[in-house]
């Protein structure tokens, strides 16, 4: 099939821009990066608009295939899940560039190049249809992130960059061996074919564990989450946005793309592990978040708690759970990104992330306070915001499998409200006593431009989530059909209700 290779072009645009950036001065590099990411965003919108949602649409669209060597092929293609995550990446990227416009002063060209390379690798990871190509993109993402944290990070950046790199590398390498085994047994490295291949259930457990090691670190799940707070705190603002917004989604995407469809029996068998770790993560990291004095650390821990709801939802083996998991991923990508941007805004003014150093910002920064409020509420999961949809669906899906675990994970919403509102009160409310805080100006136009689009999408996702659920629905149905045979027996035993017969005209009215 000959068609416009849009995915390759989306990879090529930032790649070329990255090389150009290296050879220019700071001001030009900023503009090149911004234009390149905006072009990619436009291409992404076009991708979404032309994504076929019809009833007979192919599962994999925009497919490109080019054999490279051996079984390694340059194979790209996306389904609904990948489409949504690519959209998230290309949407956040220009915002990240804008957020670093003034905050980054040293070595700007290299910084912009690193970000553009990250964008290439993220899109590539989501679009890869070859197992090894996926691994290449997945692992290569370590390089620019290592440099971003290490060069432009905070005081303890060296430790954080090492920890980030080695932790995630250790998690991923075993996955490579599992991949090589799978390619050998199945005789193909094509992801769609592997998703339909039934591995021996005994081997599945080992393969599942190998993949789990990688995705659990990326996700990150308790107890291998400890790299995240360090990386987040030390990374520059835009680095945190990309880490929280997109890189954490690689773990969830991996579970969705590999663990569930390729090893359904093992997933069902080990669902207790996922649920147990998720429940621990929700409660433990929420409590840890409650006592943080560093704003970024608090949001980092809250990310771990949110991601635990994602894993719980994904492994619920039903439509609500999986859709909920995806929605939390998208919502969290936006909201935590926005929260990091909010921290960045005041960090740029006062150069501290200590919560106690602030207070009373509602008085001199009203616009900031309003936007920060919106994102705080979204993070808590207030109805009408993106996270509510995802958390509700995810927990409803989980409920069908394990009521106890759902009960434990739901405490996360209450604890989430506790730490987020506590943070908001300490930073924004109270008396404006400190002189340097008094002198802080409200949001500039550039800062509003970074935060307002996210706010709009957060509300859009909360009010009309169907736009985002629709591209994924057919894929979720396929996935559920694929894993149904192994689906664990739930303990909630829901039964269909018996609606009372309604008058005919009323039922007729509802149908409209």
Partner 1 sequence: MGYSAQLLMTLPEVVLGLGAILLMLVAAWGGQGSTRAVSLAAVAVLIGAGISLMGPASAGGSAFGGLYRADMFAAFAKAVIFAAAAVSILIAPKFFATTSGDDLRPEYPVLILLSAAGMGMMVSAGDLMSLYVGLELQSLSAYVLASFMRRDARSAEAGLKYFVLGALASGILLYGISLVYGFSGTTLFTDIAQAYAGPKSTGLLFGLVFVFAGLAFKISAVPFHMWTPDVYEGAPTPVTAFFASAPKMAAMAMAVRVATEAMGPAVHDWRQIVVFAALASIALGAFGAIGQKNIKRLLAYSSINNVGFALIGLAAGTQAGVASVLFYMAVYVVMTLGCFLVVLQMRDAEGNAIESLDSMAGMSRTRPGLALAMMIFMFALAGIPPLLGFFAKLEVFNAATAAGLFPLAVLGIIGSVPGAFYYLSIIKRMYFDDPAPKYEGRPGLVEGGLLLAASVAISPLGMLVLPCLSAWTALAAKSLF
Residue numbers of the site for partner 1 (CB under 8 A)? 68-70, 72, 107, 132, 135-137, 139-140, 142-143, 146-147, 150-151, 157-158, 161-162, 165-166, 169-170, 173-174, 176-177, 180-181, 183-184
Q: Which residues of 233-270 are buried (b: 16+ CB within 10 A; e: fewer)?
A: bbbbbbbbbbbbbbbbbbbbbbbbbbbbbbbbbbbbbb
For residue 30, how far is the Cα from the chain centroid?
A: 25
Instruction: Decide whether 38 or 203 has the Cβ nearer to partner 1.
Output: 203
Distance separating alpha carbons of residues 61 and 83, to the nearest angstrom: 10
Instruction: Decide whether 111 or 253 has the Cβ nearer to partner 1.
Output: 111
Minimum distance between the CB of residue 442 and partner 1, rounded to whole angstroms?
35
3-class SS shares of the chain: helix, strand, coil, % to 5:
75, 5, 20
Minimum distance between the CB of residue 140 and partner 1, rounded to whole angstroms?
5
Minimum distance between the CB of residue 406 and partner 1, rounded to whole angstroms?
36
Angle at the Cα of 423 from the Cα atoms of 417 and 429, rounded to 5 degrees? 110
Instruction: Decide whether 117 or 389 has the Cβ nearer to partner 1.
Output: 117
Judging by beta carbons within 10 Å of its beta carbon (0-12, 13-18, 19+), is residue 503 exposed, middle or buried?
exposed
Minimum distance between the CB of residue 209 and partner 1, rounded to whole angstroms?
11
Q: Is the dihedral of CA 424, 426, 430, 434 positive or negative?
A: negative
Minimum distance between the CB of residue 366 and partner 1, rounded to whole angstroms?
40
Instruction: Decide whether 141 or 360 has the Cβ nearer to partner 1.
Output: 141
Minimum distance between the CB of residue 30 and partner 1, rounded to whole angstroms?
19
In this structure, are residues 230 and 164 in contact, taking their beta carbons and an 8 Å threshold?
yes
Distance separating alpha carbons of residues 109 and 72, to the nearest angstrom: 33
Instruction: Decide whether 150 or 324 has the Cβ nearer to partner 1.
Output: 150
Distance separating alpha carbons of residues 462 and 442, to the nearest angstrom: 27
Instruction: Decide whether 88 or 113 has the Cβ nearer to partner 1.
Output: 113
384 vs 321, 339, 355, 364, CA distance in Å? Answer: 19, 18, 28, 28
Peptide bond preceding 223 in cis form (omega within 30 of 0)? yes
Whose tokens are 């609904």? That residue is 80
Instruction: Decide whether 169 or 363 has the Cβ nearer to partner 1.
Output: 169
Instruction: Report residue 435 as tokens.
Output: 């002189």
Distance separating alpha carbons of residues 325 and 252, to the nearest angstrom: 8
Minimum distance between the CB of residue 231 and partner 1, rounded to whole angstroms?
14
Instruction: Decide whether 183 or 454 has the Cβ nearer to partner 1.
Output: 183
Minimum distance between the CB of residue 95 and partner 1, rounded to whole angstroms?
26
Indicate the Cα dihedral angle 149, 172, 300, 313, nearest 10°: 150
Instruction: Decide whether 48 or 197 has the Cβ nearer to partner 1.
Output: 197
In the three-class reduction of DSSP (H, G, I as helix; E, B as strand; rest coil), residue 93 is classed as helix
Minimum distance between the CB of residue 151 and partner 1, rounded to whole angstroms?
6
């Amino acid at each position: 099939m000959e068609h416009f290779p849009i995915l390759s072009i989306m990879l090529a645009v930032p790649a070329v821009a990255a090389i150009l950036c290296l050879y220019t001065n700071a001001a030009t590099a900023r503009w090149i990066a911004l234009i390149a990411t905006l072009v990619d965003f436009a291409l992404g919108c076009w991708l979404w608009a032309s994504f076929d949602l019809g009833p007979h649409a192919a599962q994999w669209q925009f497919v490109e295939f080019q054999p490279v060597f051996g079984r390694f092929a340059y194979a790209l293609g996306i389904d609904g899940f990948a489409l949504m995550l690519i959209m998230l990446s290309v949407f956040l990227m220009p915002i990240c560039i804008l957020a670093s416009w003034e905050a980054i002063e040293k070595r700007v060209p290299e910084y912009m190049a690193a970000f553009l390379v990250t964008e290439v690798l993220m899109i590539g990871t989501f679009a890869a249809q070859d197992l090894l190509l996926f691994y290449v993109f997945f692992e290569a993402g370590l390089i620019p992130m290592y440099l971003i944290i290490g060069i432009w990070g905070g005081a303890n950046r060296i430790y954080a960059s090492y920890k980030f790199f080695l932790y995630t590398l250790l998690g991923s390498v075993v996955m490579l061996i599992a991949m090589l085994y799978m390619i050998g047994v199945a005789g193909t490295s094509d992801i769609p074919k592997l998703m339909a291949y039934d591995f021996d259930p005994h081997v599945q457990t080992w393969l599942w564990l190998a993949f789990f090691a990688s995705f659990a670190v990326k996700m990150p799940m308790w107890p291998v989450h400890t790299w995240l707070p360090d990386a987040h705190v030390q990374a520059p603002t835009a680095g945190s946005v990309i880490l929280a917004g997109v890189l954490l989604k690689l773990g969830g995407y991996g579970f969705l793309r590999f663990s569930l469809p390729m090893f359904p029996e093992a997933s069902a068998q080990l669902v207790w592990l996922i649920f147990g770790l998720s429940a621990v993560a929700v409660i433990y990291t929420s409590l840890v978040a409650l006592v943080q004095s560093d704003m970024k650390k608090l949001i980092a821990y809250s990310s771990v708690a949110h991601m635990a709801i994602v894993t719980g939802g994904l492994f619920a083996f039903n439509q609500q759970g999986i859709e909920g998991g995806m929605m939390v991923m998208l919502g969290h990508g936006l909201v935590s990104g926005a929260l990091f941007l909010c921290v960045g805004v005041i960090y740029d003014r006062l150069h501290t992330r200590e919560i106690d150093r602030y207070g009373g910002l509602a008085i001199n920064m009203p616009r900031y306070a309003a936007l920060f409020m919106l994102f705080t509420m979204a993070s808590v999961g207030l109805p009408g915001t993106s996270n509510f949809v995802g958390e509700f669906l995810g927990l409803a899906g989980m409920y069908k499998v394990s009521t106890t675990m759902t009960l434990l994970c739901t405490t996360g919403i209450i604890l989430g409200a506790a730490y987020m509102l506590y943070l908001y009160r300490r930073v924004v409310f109270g008396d404006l006593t400190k002189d340097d805080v008094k002198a802080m100006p409200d949001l500039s136009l550039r800062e509003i431009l970074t935060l307002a689009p996210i706010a709009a999408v957060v509300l859009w996702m909360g009010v009309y989530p169907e736009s985002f659920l629709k591209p994924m629905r057919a894929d979720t149905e396929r996935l559920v059909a694929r894993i149904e045979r192994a689906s664990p027996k739930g303990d909630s035993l829901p039964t269909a209700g018996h609606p009372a017969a309604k008058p005919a005209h009323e039922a007729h009215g509802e149908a409209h």
